[in-house]
């Protein structure tokens, strides 16, 4: 019989990742590296532009800057390790590194879901309560909402990470995922993990289903307000700002729901890796493009910045 031992006594883990498809590893490395660089450049662009241009010092772009910074941190918490593992034969990660990665992936993912709710409320206030918008979205209140998003993510992650680190392991250290994830680590245990799984399910419901309900409720109210609008220009502005946010919400929540709602089979585990890869790598790189592609405010800010540089 394999000797039980606590997770904290484990020296390292092996992230199996995509080792079942060795012929895909080089291709995945190139594709993921391209998306990662695009994520870094595009999100840094939004953060810097929102800071430099005074016309973008509004609640919408304040929250968008927070989202961009979250995406930067979220991808950096797992993608560099994945790139190293894809390129080399060694796929090890130290126990401390695994626990740090687990903590930040959970914290940043949860914070992003809460922030998307906050952004949907901002759009609701802008469309449905335009006369009271400056009062409702006061700068101090906006900062409190952003802080609440970050605090909720890091607090929830502390709970999950602590429970996971206490689980006794069965001797082997192969994690069937490309990053340290709660469900994959629980599969290494040789004891009853139903309490951990119940905690995971409850917290997932709170920070996946409830945020989605709140976002859909906000957009339900926005849809009613849009139907009462007579101005074509007003309709275009609403669809421009709200449509982009709703698309970002869909790209983030649909893959997450697919992972949590499918039955835990071997096939679904392999499928889950690619779904997780999508919302970990692809979605953060698409968010800036979605928000800036047809955004007149961003285009105006870029023109002003270029004009200012030419005058220097």
Q: How far apart are CA 271 and CA 179, in angstroms?
A: 15
The pLDDT score that the predictor gives to residue 185 is 86
Model pLDDT for residues 223-272, shown as the tens digit of each residue: 888 777 766 665 666 666 677 778 888 888 888 777 765 555 544 667 88
Strand ranges (E), the chain: 5-6, 12-15, 92-94, 168-169, 174-175
Q: Helix or strand or coil: residue 310?
A: helix
Other C-beta atoms lying within 10 Å of the C-beta of residue 35: 20
Answer left, alpha or beta for residue 90, where phi above 0 means left and psi between -120 and 50 means alpha.
beta
Helix, strand, coil percentages (3-state) for the chain, rounded to 5, are 80, 5, 15
Question: How many of the other CB atoms lie within 10 Å of CB of 216?
Answer: 14
CA nearest neighbour of 109 among 170, 38, 179? 179
pLDDT of residue 136: 93
pLDDT of amino acid 2: 40
Question: pLDDT per residue over 289-302, tens digit each?
Answer: 887 766 777 878 77
Each domain of the chain, given as residue ranges in start order, spans: 12-295
- Dump pLDDT digits (tens) for 46-102: 999 999 888 889 999 999 999 999 999 999 999 999 999 998 778 889 989 999 999
Dump the DSSP string for 80-148.
HHHHHHHHSS--EEEHHHHHHHHHHHHHHHHHHHHHHHHHHHHHHHHHH-GGGHHHHT-HHHHHHHHHH
Which run of H or of E encompasses 309? helix 296-311
- Fold held by 12-295: Rhopdopsin 7-helix transmembrane proteins (1.20.1070)
The pTM of this model reads 0.87
CA angle 184, 200, 262 (to 5 degrees): 65
Is-contact 259 272, C-beta < 8 A?
yes
Answer for the pair 101, 92: CB distance below 8 angstroms, yes or no: no
């Amino acid at each position: 019989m394999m000797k039980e031992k606590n997770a904290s006594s484990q020296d390292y883990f092996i992230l199996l990742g995509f080792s079942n498809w060795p012929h895909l590893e080089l291709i995945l490395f190139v594709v993921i590296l391209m998306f990662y660089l695009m994520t870094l450049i595009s999100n840094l662009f939004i953060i810097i532009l929102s800071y430099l241009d005074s016309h973008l010092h509004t609640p919408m772009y304040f929250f968008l800057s927070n989202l961009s910074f979250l995406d930067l941190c979220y991808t950096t918490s797992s993608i560099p390790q994945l790139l190293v593992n894809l390129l080399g034969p060694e796929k090890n990660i130290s126990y401390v590194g695994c626990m740090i990665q687990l903590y930040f992936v959970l914290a940043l993912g949860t914070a992003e879901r809460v922030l998307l709710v906050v952004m949907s409320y901002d759009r609701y206030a802008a469309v449905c309560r335009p006369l009271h918008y400056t009062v409702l979205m006061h700068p101090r209140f906006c900062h409190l909402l952003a802080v609440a998003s970050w605090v909720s993510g890091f607090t929830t992650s502390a709970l999950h990470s602590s429970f996971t680190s206490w689980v006794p392991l069965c001797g082997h250290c192969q994690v069937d995922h490309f990053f340290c994830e709660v469900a994959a680590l629980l599969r290494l245990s040789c004891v009853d993990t139903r309490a951990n799984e119940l905690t995971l399910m409850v917290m997932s419901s709170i920070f996946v289903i409830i945020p989605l309900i709140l976002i859909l409720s906000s957009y339900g109210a926005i849809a009613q307000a849009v139907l009462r609008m007579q101005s074509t220009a007003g309709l275009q502005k609403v669809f421009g700002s709200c449509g982009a946010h709703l698309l970002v919400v869909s790209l983030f929540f649909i893959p997450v729901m697919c992972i949590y709602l499918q039955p835990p089979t071997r096939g679904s585990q392999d499928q889950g890796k690619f779904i997780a890869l999508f919302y970990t790598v692809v979605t953060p790189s698409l968010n800036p493009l979605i928000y800036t592609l047809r955004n007149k405010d961003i285009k105006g800010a870029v023109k002003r910045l270029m004009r200012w540089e030419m005058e220097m």
